[in-house]
Each structure stands twice: as C-alpha cells, then as structure tokens.
Structure 1
Amino acid sequence: MLTALRRMAGTWLAKLLFVLLIASFAVWGIGDAVRDFGRDDSVARVGDQAITLDDAQASVRREMQRLARQLGAQFENDPRIRRAVTEQAIEQLVLDRVVRGETQRLNLTVPDAAVREFIFGIQGFRGMDGQFSRPVFENFLRSNDLTEAGFLALVRADLARQQVAQAVRAGAAAPDALVRPLLRWQGEQRAATVVSLAVADAPEPPAPEEAQLRRYHENNPERFSTPELRDASVAVLTAELLSREVEVTDQEIAAAYEARRGQFETAEHRSIHQVLVPDEAKARAIAEAWKGGADFAAITAQADEAGGQAVDLGSLDRAGLPLPELAEAAFGVAEGGVTDPVQSPFGWHVLKVEKIEPGHARTLAEVRDTLRHELAQEKAADLAFDRANKVEDALAGGATLAEAAQRFNLGFAAIRTDATGHDAEGQEVALPVIEASRQPLLRAIFTAERGAAPRLAETEAGFVAVTINEVVPPALKPFEAVEPAVREAFIAEAKRRVQEERAAALLAATRGGKPLAEAAREAGLGFREVGALRRDQRQDAPVPPELLAPLFELKLNETTMVPTRTGFTVAQLTEVTPADPDADAAAMARIRGETAQAMANDLEMQFMTALRARSNVRINPRLVDQLAQP
C-alpha cells in the first residue's frame, strides 16, 4: 500500500492535488500568518515617524499610575477608563510627533540652557533648602517610569510646542465690534410680571371614592409595586482590601514625599491686572498713572487710547505667566504694586498686583497617613491582577464564590437586594465594598444573568464575581397595604391638574391681548413685578430657576408658562435693559480678556487640527485594542 502511494505521489494528478491543498491553506488557514508577515507593528504612524508599542505602553502606564495616585482609593482600573486613557495617551503621542514635525520644518530649536532653566524652576524638584534636588528629580523619574534622556526630550519638545502655540495664540484679539455686543447680551437685564401657582396652594379636591382610588392604583403599578429583588452571592477583589495585606515602610513614605513634594505645596498666587500697549512711552505714562492711584476703568480707557488693551488675568502662580520676564516683574512687587514697563515679543506690559495669596507647603508629618494609604493602594494594585488570575482559575476549577472568597481573602456577601441597595423592608443592604463603589457593584448584580457561571470581571467596583440564585420580579402591592399612599398621590395629582389648568388659562388670556397682571387679578390670583433679572442668575434669583432660560428667549410682552418643582409659573416679559458698554469699562475689559483667551484657544486647536490633518496620521486599531486590555 505504501509503495503504491509513493508511486502515485510522483504523478501529475498528485501534484495537482498538492497545489490545490496549498491554495486552500492560503485561503482558509495559513493566509493570516502569511499576510501578517512584514506587517507594521507600530501603534500609529505620523508621516514616516513611528509610535512603537513600547512607547505607547509606557505612556498608558504612566497615565494610569498618575490617575491612581491622584484618585487614591476612588480609582478602579475599569475597562472603560482604561480604554479612554489608552486613546488619550496615543492621541497625545500623535500630537507630539505632529508638532515635532512642524518645529523641524520651521527649524525651531530649544537651547539646552532653556531646558535646564525650565526644569530647575519646577517646584516639585526642589529639596528642603528650596534648591533643585537631584535625588528628588531621580525619584520622580523612577515613579513615572522615565529615563532622564526621555524626560529631557519631552521637556524640549514641549517648549518647542509652546513656541509654536504662542506664535499662533498671539494673533488672538477681541475687537470692540465683538466685545460690545457680547457685553450687551451678557449684561442684559429683564423685568417680568410673574404668577406662581404652587400645588400646595390648590383647593382641596372632593374626597375620592374607593373605586377611583382602586383604578388609580391599578393604572399606576410602577408607583405602588415592590421593586425587583435579586438573591445573589457576591465576591469582590479591590485594592482597598488588598492594601490591608501590604506593608509600607517609613523609608518608602519619605522617598514618596520627596518625589511628590509638588502635590503638597501650594504655590504663591497673585491676582494681576495687565495693560499691553505697542509703545514704550505710552506704557510708562500708564504705569505712572496707575502708581498715582488711577482706577482700573481709567487705565482701561488709557490703554484703549494707546492702541492696546487692559485685562484682568485673574489669580496666577509664577508658572501661570507665559514669559519669564513677566513672571519676574509681577512677583517682584508688593501687594498693590505696579511694575515698570516690561518688553516682550507682544509689546510693552504693565502689571498691577491686586492681591497676594501666600504659598503653603504641608510637612511630611502632615501627609504621612495620606502617603501611607496611597503607597499601600499602589502596591495592592500590583497584587490585584495576580490574585484575580488565581481566583479565576479556582472558579474555573469548580470552586463556589464562598470557597474562593475564603481561600483568597476576598470580600463576600450573600444578599437579597433591589437595584438601589435596599431589601424588601426598605433597609439598606450591607455590601462588601466602600460607599463609592456601591452603585457600580449593584449594576454588576443587576446585569448578571441568572444561572451563568461566576466569572471574576473587572468593573468600576473592582474585580467582581456574581452568582444570581433567584430573581423576584416586581409585584403590585395589595391596595389595602398602600391605600394611604394611593390617596395622597391621587389628591396631589388632582391639585396639580387644577394649577396647570389655571396657568394655561392665564397664558391663553395674555395671548388674547390681556396683560398678565390684569388676567391674574380677574382670576383672583396674586402676581409679582420682578426686575433686574440676569442670564447668569441662579442661586439668588427671585424667580424659579426653570423660568430664567425661557424668559430670556421671549420678545417684549410675550408670555411663557413653565412647570416647576412646586407647581407652575407664568411670566410676561415687561422690560428689556441692555448693558451699556461705555458705562462699565471693567466689564468690557473682563469680556475682552475672556473672549481673546477663547479665541486663542480656538486658534491653537484649529492649528493643531490642521497640522494633524496634513501629517498623514495612521492608527493601528488592532494594537490599540490590545493596549486597552488590562
């Protein structure tokens, strides 16, 4: 038989069969491997620049570590969060390559001295003596998984990006033709006649008959039914639980304090007004007038005459000022002081320090417990995935949730709960998670399928495994058990209906040409005349918040009706008072500054979008999906 097969293998028929067999493998099996040969293994490409998988992994890891330190116990490595962080990290790497390409095209360079000065100026890298500390710097690099060369490259690229961005943003200016209408719109005030119809003030309806109440009870089952209850066994693995198993030494706490010193220091902030004009002589005249006691409105007018502008920069720390010379001047005068004119590429600046908020640094003793907790959480996060794999193996081997929880020190509970975390009697059910994780755990319970084998899945509440033992569907409560609640709801609805009809009648009367005040008097209702209403009025508004937006959409003498938390409100617009830009120089300056800032942000965003669009960006979705997996 074997001899016959060998003879046949040499025939043309056998060779044809081999060719067909190889072709079938190419189509159905081996083809994927062949097609993958030589594939690009970069996560993304920007032109001819590759973003490698290692670069992307390091960037995602740093961002996840930063979030874990920032949020502490509230941070959970949820799949959705990891996906968002992954996409954001990759986009940042893409934009970094895009800007690098533009800086190379423009032949922009960042001198070593500028990089050194920037790093030495970072507060978080300073030691107890206030000077740059090499050990603190190295601790920072280690904790963020960075090399010194890599960090210097990041700083250099960022400083180059700032050069490009500042050049783009420098063209942003808000002209009067835009600022004045904005001020008129934003500062506009309105007056109205207002009638409030509270449900509580409605007359008592006739006492309902039992038949009416029973029909109401049957027609509104969602209001008078028991909630769905789930009988579940729940096991959870969280960093909070694992942190009780790890030890944090005093040396680790001290090293973390040095590495994270910037988190515990509040830099000095100064509230600053700025004038920017193109001419030095006019800048000096403005500085003298300001030092002589001129108010901001007068200075704003003087700046306008000089072809410049005056803006309120708000409260800034030293790093918040974009140019070192401005920071040096602003932080070199006392509170209430005015600087001499300072020249920059944008013109001549004069700054006044309105208020100083001193900086503050918390000591190691003050933050020791916080750091101990954060470090324990970080160590626990490293243990979590290894422990989760062991739990998953045990469950796959047939262990029950209770057995796995006992063996691996998990949080465990056997509960019967509704979707809000209460039992059949309305008492809060104890869950094996912290308060912030109750809702994510309840969502996991109410999305689990009955009868499905338990699996340890990553959720916002941590690693969670659920077994659903029983589902008790909602059931309409007996009328006799809820009669008082049915009666109360029936009467409240009847009162609300009465007030809605009254409000609708007032609205119809005004649309027929009758003033709201007259229509209210005829109906025996009270009304109020309310003035000086503003668009941004919320907390202290003399009208319901639901009324403000509709009121500012009305034309003069038009009427609107809105439902509120307590009933209904009808209002008729009686007066519109636009803001006068010429009477409020400070408001003009504020809006000019806000508008210019918004325009600068838009310009920079559009510029970056345009750069990205012409940079031939390609993303590898397969590797992005791989990175987003825990």
Structure 2
Amino acid sequence: MISFFRSIFQSKIGLFFTFAFVGLIAIAFASSDITGSTFGGVGGGNVASVGSEDIAAGDLSRSVTSAFEGARAENPTLDLATFVDQGGLESILDQMINNHALQVFARDNGMAASKRLIDSEISSIGAFRGPDGQFSEQVFRQVLQSQGLTERIVRGDLERALVGEQILLPVTYGVRAPDDLILPYASLILEGRKGRIALIPSAAYAPKDTPGDKALTTFYSANSERYRLPEQRTIRYAVFTTETLGDSINPTEEEIQAEYGRRAQEFAASETRSITQVVTTTEAAANTLAAQIRSGKNLEQAAQDVGLSASEVNNVGKEKFARDFSNAYADAVFGASNGEITKPAQSPLGWHVARVTDTNKQAARSLEQVRGVLTAELKETKTLEALADLTEKFEDEFAGGASLAEVAGSYDLEIKSTPSLRSNGQTPDQAGYSPDNVVQRVIGNAFAMEQDSSPQLAELIAGQRYAMYDVADIKEATPPPLAEIKDNVIRDYKLEQGAKKAKETSETIKKQVASGTALDTAISGLDVRIPPAQRVGTTRANLIRPDSNVPPPLALMFSMAEKTVKTIEAPGNQGWYVVYLEEIEKGDASKQPQLVAQTKQQFGGLLSGEYTQQFINAVKNAVDIDKDEGAIKAVNDQITGRNRIN
C-alpha cells in the first residue's frame, strides 16, 4: 500500500511526504538502534493550523529531532543548531503543512483511511514484531515509549500517508514525456567537448619575503575561521545491565505455576493433521471424485481431469480446522487414517474431498517437563518489564534534576570518563586512543547536547545492556594562537597574495585568447614560467555519472560556447585556470534505444514530481493556513537552547 510513497521518497520533490513518517523513520531503526533520547521538550500550543487541523509545537519539535538524527547519520559532525539554522525547521514545518492540507482536502471530499487499514499497516512494520515474527502489542508499546512517540502520532502519520496515496496516485499515474522531447535530451548526454586548460599557479606570483607582523596579524584576524580547531567534549558514562536488576527478574514458583495454568491448553495432549484436498461445488461432484480416487486414481490427477486443482493444509488441529472450515469437515478429516480418503464434507467454500497425508500427535506435557521453558520465558518478560521500569525511573530522576553521579551511585554503577574528544572520537591529548563501544554508540548524541543538558540513556544491546551518559566539559571550537601555526599562516598569506596576481594574469590571457591569440602563445609571453596548457576532453555522460569526480575547469566547458574562453579559480588559493573550448561534438541517441528509454523514465519521474507539487500547491490554496510565528520561534529557541540564559 505504501510502495508508491517509498518510490517518491527518492525524489527531491517527493521529500515533502517523507515527513509524514518522521516518527516511523525512528521506528524503522528501533529494533537495532533505540536511543530513548529526545530533544526540545516543547509542550502545549500550536505552531500552525491547516483548516480544522492543528500542528502542535511538540509534534514539530519531535519531527525536527527525528529528521536531525537522520541527517546526522550522514554527517556525524552536524549539530542541532546548525541543522535548524540551515533551514531544517522551516522545511519540516512546510512539509507538515503540506501533509495536513492533503488530509483536510481528503476529508472535505469524502476520502479517509479506515482504522482497519491503519491497523494493517502497523502490523506490517517489522519493528513491532515479537520473537514469533507476529505483531506484538507489548513490543509496539515498548518501541513507541523508547522513541518518545505515542500511538496518536503513529496513527496520525499513517492516516496522512494512506490518504495522501489515495489523492496523489491518480495525479501522477501514467505520466510520460513526449518522444519529441526525449531524443534531444538523450542526445545531449552523448555530447562531447574538447579543449585546453592552463593553470596560472599562485605560487609563481607569491612574494618571496616573509610578511611583517602587522600584515600577518591582519590576515590571520580576517581568516581565523579557516584555522578553527574542532569542538572537543568530555563524556562521562555508566553502564547498567540485567545484573543491575538482581533477583527481581527471577520468576517465583507461584508465577511459574500460574503461567502453566494459563497455558494449559498449549501443554495438553494435541493432534494435528496435514491433508491434500480438492473443493467441488456440489455434493454429487465430490462423491464422484472420491469414488474415482478410492478406485485407485491419483487425487491430483482426478482433480485435474475435471478442471480443478488440489491444495495442501498442513499441521492444523481439529479446533482450528473446524473454525476455518466446518465441524463436519473437521470430523471427516480427524476420523480418517493416514493415506485414507475422507468422506465428502461441506464448508462455506464448497464440498471437500481430502487425503490425510500426515498425523502428528503430541502427548500432554507436565509442569516439570516445561518448567525450563516457562522459567526462561517468564524471566525474559520480567527482564524487559523491569528494564523498562528502571529506564523510566532513571529518566524521571534526570528530569527532576538528579545528576549522573547521584543516579549511578545509588545503584553502585561505575562512572567512566573519556579524554577530551572530537566528534569523530579522536583526541589530540592522547595518541593512540580509541573509543570503546559505549563511546562510539553515544558520541553522536553527546555532541548534540547542551552544556547543561540532563543525562541521557542509550540502549547498547537490546534488552541486556544500557548506558547513562552526560557531557562533563565542552571546549568550544576556536582558532589556535597565531604563534602555534605561524608557518601555515605565512604560507597561506603568500598564496593569497600570489592568487591575486594569478587572477590578473589569467584575465590578461583570457583577453588575448578571445582576441585570437593561441593559448600557448599567450602563456609563453608571460614573465614567469608556468606549466603548458593541457589538452582535455570528455562527454556529458561522464559529467553526470553518480560517481563522477570531474574537475571544475573541465565541467566549466559544458557551459561554454565553442571557440570561447573563460577563467575559474582553483581551490585553496592555488591559482586560476584559463579554459578554452575548441570543439563541441554533438551526440546522437537515435541508435541507442536503451539510453532513450532511461531518459524517458527519468523525465517521467521529474514530471510526476512537478505534477505532485503543483497539485499540493493547489490544495494549499483551497485550505485556510495560519502560522503562529511566535510559537515557531519558541520551538526554534527551545530545541537549539537559545532560550537559556548564558
């Protein structure tokens, strides 16, 4: 059902809908990465209203946090304030408004997602399955609690996703670009360009003399951010395991006996049957088929001869058999021996003829026989419950102002401390230091915490091992004293001065080449010696490959007219390139149907995204939307910590 949106998530336009699942994104990783940490803490109030729907401040805060954690997985050095400053909060709020607008529009036009459909989607999420592979209410609640989510949030996200699918699928279904549009673009991919590139290096024009202290200090002050050392933090942590729970997780004799009594039917004597069956529409047809089989004809062949097919039912007890089919059919199956053909019996599906292929009898099991199983299962259940209670207790104590030392001390937990670390786990203070598994697990969150943040909890091994941690010291990212890096600053100063003259030279060469002078001739007339121009060439296909690493001057040729010249700066003040485009080789995709088909498919995705966005814009125009800028700023300040008094 959600497959349509899984595909549009891949496009930039389709990203609007991704945030309908910000809670479920966290859930998707819950089974292997439950941190239990949250940011913000914004409570009541709304940041926007969309028709009759409100967007709560707390929901926006949680959505921003979830999106930030996903972004930090790609960029571990990213911090929450930077994420917000780069437009993260505004973008996510816009996506939430889009999603609510679609829901309001759907409701106004009689479209909805039923409770049964939402239940089905919840039960299909792998993180909610228990040890038997089936949906578990207990696991569902535990995952939601660990992620700071509620059932209301999850159901609301799913409802918006399902309703959005109903609306948007018809908008984009069957979208395709016309063939006359595709061939020119496909041919453009095959286009090749050839030219010459010369580097005018800064080093060739860099001053030989060492700059004076005043010039160097002025340069360093203007460029100090270039030398900024990464932020460092000291992390303190304590590990607690199931051993911390003591004997409280061991089931008592009374609990074992009660569990045995509750599951008495499971341990009672049982019998299951496996069959191969054929279902006919009438009793007469069933009797004829049964007679043919009893006379020696193969059941499968007999069914095939009359246009029917045989099916198997395996390892089913009589009670379930009667529930799935009928009492009469269950009596017939369980009244026959292995290999015997049953007497035709009726169910709501029709008249059944079956051959019993296997009988499995299980003797009753006494309490002593299953004591080990019951003890282990009860211990596992009690452990999960006790750990949930314990982590909740720790969180309450931290929220109440208790320190890491106080909580850890009350349970005799050892507190360990790291050296001053950078966000990548390295430390300039201890050569050869390597963070342990606990530090590797929590360092990302630790670098997102504020100095005065409450301690956090992290799950290390599901249901077995956890950690509590905080940040003991923060060394802000600052440039080092000039004296410590003076040689590097002198080098950069000289390169910058040389780059200015290299730019002037490149512009002079550009004018000469544009007037008809050959590039090599213009270079040879310089008063300094520089490397000769290089012949280069490539195709647009190489330029747009996902793994492409085409140098900027080579890429520049694809935005130039034939027989023209341009300049472009080399990175790091290394100099300036002079780029001359000699020839454009036009491509022809008419003989490459696979490339044309791929281009057509890509255009279809772009058009689908455009149609989707335009439709959403139209929906928003038809719905009353109000933003509370004050509430939005409050969320911004809360999750970035800017409302704290420094």
With structure 1 as the length reference, what TM-score do the two structures score?
Answer: 0.49
With structure 2 as the length reference, what TM-score do the two structures score?
Answer: 0.48
